[in-house]
Chains A and B, each alone.
Chain A
Amino acid sequence: MANYFNTLPLREQLAELGKCRFMHLDEFDEGVDALRGKKMVIIGCGAQGLNQGLNLRDSGLDVSYALREQAIAQQRQSWKNAIENGFTVGTYEELLPTADVVLNLTPDKQHTNVVNTIMPMMKHGSCLSYSHGFNIVEEGMQVRDDITVIMVAPKCPGSEVRAEYVRGFGVPTLIAVHEANDPNGQGLALAKAYAVGTGGHKAGVLMSSFIAEVKSDLMGEQTILCGMLQTGSLLCFDKMMGEGIDPGYASKLIQYGWETITEALKYGGVTNMMDRLSNPAKIRAFELAEEMKDIMRPLYWKHQDDIMTGTFSKTMMADWANDDAELLGWRADTAETAFEKTPASDTEISEQEYFDNGILMVAMVKAGVELAFETMTSAGIIAESAYYESLHETPLIANTVARKKLYEMNATISDTAEYGCYLYNHACVPLLGDFMKGMRSDVIGKGLDVADNAVDNARLIDVNDAIRSHPVEAIGGVLRGHMADMKRIV
């Protein structure tokens, strides 16, 4: 199989990368009608598979689970998950030939195997749905011509997908139709109905393309979302140890700091996050971020280039073929880091203190978000996609760090994201080495040691202008406005 993206002419590549549109609620007036009475069979009963299935069934749809024979015979966890939740479970052979829609919710690395197995059993004119386009775009999976191929990707962990539905809401969801596989032109209607079935339409749906999803998703998760948080956590912790900060305090400041800082990001973008700092701290964070952006820019470009050319997927697939040797090794290394092994103390840290004593962390978030956004948009990814895959998702990943540090983050994200995260971390830690030598506890651990909050007027104006005029703030303002219309009325 060849990398699908690389088979396309440049102008088509750019056209696909540029697809991303925020859909309006009234585009979902038909509800789940396109799927009503159709037989939906889910492959994979992990967190996404189970929780999406629960939502779809509660929306009145016919959902069952196809598992491999051994999983049923040995009553594995996936079998238990499905049975105890009252679902019909059967083998591929039993369920797939009559399925109208097959939802492939297995991990990326199983896709080729799974799809090759199920395709011959799928009935003529049925639909195959993905929640990530890697298999189609990077691995070049060729799906039978009569089969409609769509993507519905809730932009949250499976447990959230369920929890938000039960509350009467949903999670933001990305949908796409694989143009090469839309024989009856029904792809969009099916994807919309699926998004309604999981509750995603209430939280906002983005209409994108397989290519835009893959190329922006990979970039985001490797760099700012997971990579930057991992690198930042390790560097900031080690620096605080060198500066004599109490280990328990340092551990807590980082573990919960990302979540607190990026909560401000979620509400009001980089501008609001920076505004949470005092004026002198803001100027300092701005300067640190500028410096880090210059240092890290080549790395972000390299990640994006490797993603675009397929170098990244090739490297990772080689590791798949090698029984995940690199991935598992890096995972073990992460577990042994000082940050990971030092429990957070129960010292009280106020919400504001996370900002005041975490100036460097704020600077890292700013640098990472802006660099990822700049790099994606300069590579042809539309601003909407770039926003969601950088700024928008950062708080979600930060929540996982708050729960159980890097272990939890890496356990929650996909193996693909985890692999990319380690790649980034290995390059970024040494890259920031000299820069970190110049850091002191005033920017990480203790807060600025200043007599008062005096700043130079002209400098403050320049800094504020620079923060507010960044393109990620412009698109962020528009999209958060859309979201606020649909989102919970707080």
Chain B
Amino acid sequence: MICLDALSVDFDERFQLHDINWTIQPGEHWLIAGANGSGKSALAAVLASEGTYLAGTLSGVPDRVALVSYERQAELIEAERRKDDADIVDVISEGTSVAAIIDADCCDPDLAQTLIDTLGLRPLMGRAFRKLSTGETRKVMLIRALSSQPDVLVLDEPFDGLDHNSMAWLQDHLSALAEVLPMVIVLNRFDECPDFITHIAYVDNGRLLHRVDRDNERAFAELYQLLHLKTSGLEIPAADPTARLPALDPDAPLVRLRGATVRYSDNTVLEDLDWTIEVNQSWQLSGPNGSGKTCLLSLITGDHPQCYVNDIMAFGFQRGTGESIWQIKQFIGYVSTALQWEYRVGTGLRNVIISGFYDSIGLYTKSTDTQKAIADEWLALLGMSARADEPFNTLSFGDQRLVLIARAMVKHPPLLILDEPCLGLDDMNRQLVLALVERICLHSETTVLYVNHREQDRVPGIDNHLTLTE
């Protein structure tokens, strides 16, 4: 049993893994997944005794751990290059031959010879290792690892750069090997996950955030979606080019409240609040429950009836001068738990997203082909392409939230209001939502108004804070 207990590891001060708790039981085969730069390769390398331990312990690692990774590959090539540089005589050094490199660690020559043939390296055996292409080098690394009779096999992106036939062969070979040898594999593309993998470790920002048993279908599906959002190259879909919003004065604030007050006969919810939201000035609104956050938002969205007795300028309209609520809402994308409760419809996911073009709950207008295409792009971004016609109300709570965020963003509103978007979500779904919000913040022109009852939960990129008190 390999056991990482509260382990923190430093890698040449370039990267650190923090507080890793991880146990690999006999018979388990792990996949390490995560976005680029999240620490997948570092975690794999720890098993091969790399890095400097800052805290915690690592125990139970067997003697022979074979690691195939870009880093190892680069080290080997670098070592070869140094040999060349070290040669001060004026002789052209070929460096070590492929055959010698393979022989160096070899414990199973028969297997090595088979692998050389299978992977088509036979003609290259006499060539200098450092003259090989990247893909060829990778094959050499694999042969070295597989023929070293390891106790654990750690493969970092083993399928990268392999041609189709080699990859198919390697997958078969690994499947057979899985019967006798524990394996840890790092993969960028989750859909390449081999069948023999029993567990998935999800790494983000140097931390091991999730350990998912593959038999737990629900958790597996959520992790799949999270990885999809974190790793797919898909862009935030564009706005509908045929439906332009009325132009806003770029110098005028999006919203300006003066002396905003909301009062009922028995209590006062808001009193004399001034607030201006300029274009591209994202805000975080915080405050305890009951401090009037949602009330303040609904003054902006026009959902609060007392917006008509307040001095509110929104999107060029002085409220209460003959504008309709739909003229206000067209500039706003809105997500909240309350909206989710209201959105109790059996409408399919595609139509739920399209309803964002009309600011309606449910869809009451025939949609255009462009709108459908955009909605489908959003579903692809969410990793829900196959579920376009599934009824919204049968989705998990977290999935509903994601779809509603897509609905809010589908028209690329000048103002996106996220009212406690993570409320009621478990950790995994919270990260899903944050991953989506992060992508939206990075890749659109939308001004974000993020509401969170905990002031300390700050979102990167949001510099303005308004805190309400009770």
* Interface residues in chain A, defined as those with a beta carbon under 8 Å from any beta carbon in chain B: 32, 36-37, 54, 57-62, 75, 80, 83-87, 166-169, 202, 486-490
Residues A168 and B358 in contact, CB atoms below 8 Å apart: yes
Residues B305 and A168 in contact, CB atoms below 8 Å apart: no
Interface residues of B in 324-373 (CB under 8 A from A): 324-327, 342, 345-347, 351, 355, 358-364, 366-367
Residues A60 and B323 in contact, CB atoms below 8 Å apart: yes
Determine which of B307, B322, B351 lies in contact with A37 in the assembled complex, contact meaning CB atoms within 8 Å.
B322
Residues A486 and B364 in contact, CB atoms below 8 Å apart: yes
Interface size on B, residues (CB 8 A): 30
* Known contacts A58-B302, A59-B325, A84-B264; A489/B358 CB under 8 A: no
Q: Mark B258-286, 1 if CB is under 8 A from A, else 0.
A: 00000011000000000000000000000
Determine which of A36, A57, A87, A487 lies in contact with B364 in the assembled complex, contact meaning CB atoms within 8 Å.
A487
Tell me the complex Cα distance, A279–B366, Å.
38
Tell me the complex Cα distance, A490–B344, Å.
12
* Known contacts A167-B342, A168-B359, A489-B347; A85/B306 CB under 8 A: yes
Residues B308 and A57 in contact, CB atoms below 8 Å apart: yes
Residues B360 and A167 in contact, CB atoms below 8 Å apart: yes
* Known contacts A86-B305, A86-B309, A489-B351; A60/B360 CB under 8 A: no
Residues B363 and A488 in contact, CB atoms below 8 Å apart: yes
* Interface residues in chain B, defined as those with a beta carbon under 8 Å from any beta carbon in chain A: 264-265, 302-303, 305-309, 322-327, 342, 345-347, 351, 355, 358-364, 366-367
Output the residue of A32, A80, A83, A487 with the most chain B CB within 10 A: A83
20 other A-B residue contacts (CB within 8 Å) besides A167-B360, A167-B362: A32-B324, A36-B322, A37-B322, A60-B322, A60-B324, A84-B264, A84-B265, A85-B305, A86-B308, A86-B309, A87-B305, A166-B303, A168-B326, A168-B355, A168-B358, A168-B359, A168-B360, A169-B360, A489-B362, A490-B345
Closest CB-CB distance, B319 to chain A, in whole Å?
A: 10
Determine which of B322, B361, B366 lies in contact with A489 in the assembled complex, contact meaning CB atoms within 8 Å.
B366
Tell me the complex Cα distance, A202–B305, Å.
22
Contact partners of A86 in chain B: CB under 8 A: 305-309
Residues A169 and B265 in contact, CB atoms below 8 Å apart: no
Residues B362 and A168 in contact, CB atoms below 8 Å apart: yes
Contact partners of B325 in chain A: CB under 8 A: 58-59
Nearest residue (CB) in A for B359 is A168
Nearest residue (CB) in B for A485 is B366
Contact partners of B361 in chain A: CB under 8 A: 166-168
Is chain B's binding surface mostly helix, strand, loop or mixed?
A: loop
Nearest residue (CB) in A for B391 is A490
Determine which of A58, A83, A169 lies in contact with B362 in the assembled complex, contact meaning CB atoms within 8 Å.
A169
Contact partners of A486 in chain B: CB under 8 A: 364
Tell me the complex Cα distance, A36–B302, Å.
19
Contact partners of A166 in chain B: CB under 8 A: 303, 361
Residues B363 and A59 in contact, CB atoms below 8 Å apart: no
Tell me the complex Cα distance, A98–B98, Å.
98
Residues B362 and A54 in contact, CB atoms below 8 Å apart: no
Output the residue of B308, B325, B351, B364 with the most chain A CB within 10 A: B364
Nearest residue (CB) in A for B342 is A167
* Known contacts A60-B324, A488-B347, A490-B346; A202/B302 CB under 8 A: no
Nearest residue (CB) in A for B309 is A86
Closest CB-CB distance, B262 to chain A, in whole Å?
A: 9
Contact partners of B345 in chain A: CB under 8 A: 488, 490
Tell me the complex Cα distance, A378–B327, Å.
47
Nearest residue (CB) in A for B325 is A58
* Known contacts A86-B306, A167-B342, A488-B362; A59/B265 CB under 8 A: no
Tell me the complex Cα distance, A61–B325, Å.
11
* Known contacts A168-B358, A168-B359; A489/B324 CB under 8 A: no
Tell me the complex Cα distance, A202–B347, Å.
18
Contact partners of B323 in chain A: CB under 8 A: 60
Contact partners of B327 in chain A: CB under 8 A: 60
Closest CB-CB distance, A259 to chain B, in whole Å?
A: 16
Contact partners of B309 in chain A: CB under 8 A: 86
Closest CB-CB distance, B324 to chain A, in whole Å?
A: 4
Tell me the complex Cα distance, A487–B345, Å.
13
Tell me the complex Cα distance, A209–B101, Å.
96
Report, nearest first, the 6 A-B pairs whose CB atoms are least far apart: A168-B360, A85-B305, A58-B325, A167-B361, A60-B324, A86-B309
Closest CB-CB distance, A111 to chain B, in whole Å?
A: 27
Tell me the complex Cα distance, A490–B355, Å.
12
Contact partners of B307 in chain A: CB under 8 A: 86
Tell me the complex Cα distance, A62–B351, Å.
34
Closest CB-CB distance, B404 to chain A, in whole Å?
A: 14
Tell me the complex Cα distance, A83–B266, Å.
13
Closest CB-CB distance, B296 to chain A, in whole Å?
A: 15
Contact partners of A54 in chain B: CB under 8 A: 305
Nearest residue (CB) in B for A31 is B324
Contact partners of A80 in chain B: CB under 8 A: 265
Residues B305 and A489 in contact, CB atoms below 8 Å apart: no
Closest CB-CB distance, A208 to chain B, in whole Å?
A: 23
Nearest residue (CB) in B for A167 is B361
Closest CB-CB distance, A42 to chain B, in whole Å?
A: 14
